[in-house]
Homo-oligomer: A and B are copies of this chain.
Amino acid sequence: MKNYSKYPDWDHFLNGISIDCVIFGYHQKELKILILEYKQINTYALPGGFIKNDENLNEAAKRVLAERTGLKDIYLNQFHTFGDLSRHDPEPMKNLIKKSGMNFPDDHWLFQRFITVGYYALVDFNKATPVPGPFSDRCEWYDVNDLPELMQDHRLIVEKALGELRDNIDHKAVGLNLLDNVFTMGELKDLYETISGKKLNRTSFHRKMMKSGRLKRLGKKSTGKAHRSPYLYRFAGSEE
């Protein structure tokens, strides 16, 4: 397994397995995800990485996430593992490595087939500071409805993550991690509508949320708008 020990940095990783992260953020009623841009090869991709020999799979995902967002203690969820042969396309990677001035043998595992484990993450849009990776030039938020063309099967990975997120929308963590600590019922409804892609009934939503027991009502908020000011809420058990 040490064929390429002249590239010591690449030798600490498990070969043939990668991690790809769909990092969700929410801002101004738009659901966004972090996308890397490799300008040298004019390609967009999901943030990803490899698993160190002495590292748990979940830890690796956390690390990748921390590297791209600067955040720790992120809500992370493994959702699917992608292993079709059709996702194998060594050209972008070869180009990238070449243009980066590195020189790997053609049969290096980096150019072989990969099985990738997909994770989705929920982060506070305002707290995350997107950091480009070692080879990528930009790391930016994109509206999920307005993504650039993505490398390999990354589009499929995003779709699957979105489906998973929609299924889990009623989990406390979704709102907790995508909204500010404190929010109004309207803001929570907006989030639900954005994620589900459906219009929701205002009053039923209100009632359902209050009955769920997941919310705690705080004092009033003065919005500065010309109407009755809404209450503020936070998720029960998320005291500061």
Residues of B within 8 A of A57 (CB): 81-84, 115
Residues of B within 8 A of A86 (CB): 56
| Structural contact, A81 and B15, CB atoms closer than 8 A | no
A200 CB, min distance to chain B CBs, angstroms: 23
Interface of A is mostly: mixed
Residues of B within 8 A of A112 (CB): 1
Residues of B within 8 A of A73 (CB): none
Measured CB to CB, the nearest residue on chain B to A108 is B1
Please tell me how many copies of the chain the complex holds: 2
Partner of A53 from B54, B78, B113 at Cβ < 8 Å: B113
Partner of A83 from B3, B15, B58, B107 at Cβ < 8 Å: B58
Interface string of A58-76 (1 = CB under 8 A from B): 1010000000000000000
Partner of A78 from B54, B80, B107 at Cβ < 8 Å: B80
Known contacts A1-B107, A107-B1, A113 near B14 by CB under 8 Å: yes
Q: How far is the CA of A57 from the CA of B86 in the complex (A)?
A: 11
A17 interface residue per 8 A CB criterion: yes
Known contacts A57-B83, A83-B58, A117-B81, A1 near B15 by CB under 8 Å: yes
Within 8 A of B (CB), among A115-150: 115, 117
A residues whose Cβ falls under 8 Å from a Cβ of B: 1, 3, 14-17, 51, 53-58, 60, 78, 80-86, 107, 109, 112-113, 115, 117
Could you jot down 21 A-B contacts, CB within 8 Å? A1-B107, A1-B109, A1-B112, A3-B3, A14-B16, A14-B113, A16-B17, A17-B115, A51-B83, A53-B113, A55-B85, A56-B83, A57-B81, A57-B82, A57-B83, A58-B83, A60-B83, A78-B80, A78-B81, A81-B81, A115-B117
